[in-house]
């Protein structure tokens, strides 16, 4: 027995040796079962991590989100209202459809990098970047026709007669003009950045 194989005593190493040199002792069915099992474990772990990182608790687990963004969101109608229906961070910032959710999760790695670098770890740094961050979110919402807003709000289900005067006048025009929610509702969950002009 050579030195390399004598050092190989872990499960993964033995599995690799088996896959490299299959024998009549191991059937093709066994190898398929092993591959299926490993793939299933990976898939379950992947889904678990996707769900775990898609909660409000996860979103506000970092100082920047909890102290800056979350505190102002708590003052809005999306946080507390007469009906008790609440939109959480992922409801507005993470798509529900699988393919869009994966893209958003990949994009969030950039945000994690800035967390590590401390780009917005003080109120002053955050305020200095607020307009840039907001414009990025608004552009994404324009591009997706406010997809996340429409998970809860849909023009075709609105009863304009039960809305306030301004909304009842504006929503039919917005519908006819193919406007999207963010065209009018910037600042609905977070305060508008200093220097923002409509």
Can you give the three-state secondary structure of the chain, one letter per residue? CCHHHHHCCCHHHHHHHHHHCCCCCCCHHHHHHHHHHHHHHHHHHHHHHHHHCCCHHHHCCCHHHHHHHHHHHCCCCCCCCCCCCCCCHHHHHCCCCHHHHHHHHHHHHHHHHHHHHCCCCCHHHHHHHHHHHHHHHHHHHHHCCCCCHHHCCCHHHCCHHHCCHHHHHHHHHHHHCCCCHHHHCCCCCCCCCCCCCC
pLDDT of residue 1: 46
On the question of pLDDT at 63 being above 90, the answer is no
Which tops the pLDDT comparison, 98 or 8? Answer: 98
Q: What is the pTM of this model?
A: 0.73
pLDDT of residue 8: 64
Q: How far apart are CA 2 and CA 111, in angstroms?
A: 48
Q: Which of 8-22, 52-66, 87-101, 145-159 is least confident?
A: 8-22
pLDDT of residue 108: 87
For residue 90, the Cα-to-chain-centroid distance in whole angstroms is 6
Q: Averaging pLDDT over each range in 62-71, 113-122, 138-147, which range is the top one?
A: 138-147
pLDDT of residue 20: 67
On the question of pLDDT at 125 being above 50, the answer is yes
Q: How far apart are CA 141 and CA 93, in angstroms?
A: 9
pLDDT digits (tens, 9 = 90+) for 78-116: 999 998 999 999 999 999 998 999 999 998 888 888 888
Which tops the pLDDT comparison, 5 or 131? Answer: 131
Which tops the pLDDT comparison, 123 or 5? Answer: 123
Q: How far apart are CA 146 and CA 6, in angstroms?
A: 60
Contacts of 118 (CB under 8 A, 6+ apart): 125
Q: Locate 149 and state its tokens.
A: 């807003």
Stretch 45-69: mean pLDDT: 90
On the question of pLDDT at 10 being above 60, the answer is yes
On the question of pLDDT at 42 being above 90, the answer is yes
* 35: nearest Cα among 21, 15, 52: 15
């Amino acid at each position: 027995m050579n030195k390399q194989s004598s050092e190989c005593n872990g499960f993964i190493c033995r599995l690799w040796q088996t896959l490299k040199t299959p024998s009549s002792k191991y059937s093709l069915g066994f190898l398929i079962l092993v591959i299926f099992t490993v793939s299933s474990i990976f898939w379950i772990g992947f889904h678990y991590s996707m769900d775990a990182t898609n909660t409000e608790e996860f979103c506000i687990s970092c100082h920047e989100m909890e102290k800056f963004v979350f505190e102002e969101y708590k003052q809005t109608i999306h946080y507390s209202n007469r009906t008790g229906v609440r939109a959480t961070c992922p409801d507005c910032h993470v798509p529900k459809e699988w393919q869009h959710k994966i893209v958003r999760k990949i994009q969030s790695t950039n945000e994690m990098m800035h967390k590590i670098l401390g780009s917005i770890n003080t109120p002053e740094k955050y305020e200095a970047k607020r307009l840039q961050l907001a414009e990025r979110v608004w552009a994404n919402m324009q591009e997706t026709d406010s997809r996340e807003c429409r998970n809860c709000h849909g023009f075709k289900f609105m009863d304009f007669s039960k809305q306030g005067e301004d909304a009842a006048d504006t929503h039919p025009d917005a519908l006819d003009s193919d406007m999207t929610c963010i065209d009018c509702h910037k600042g609905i969950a977070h305060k508008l950045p200093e220097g923002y002009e409509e």
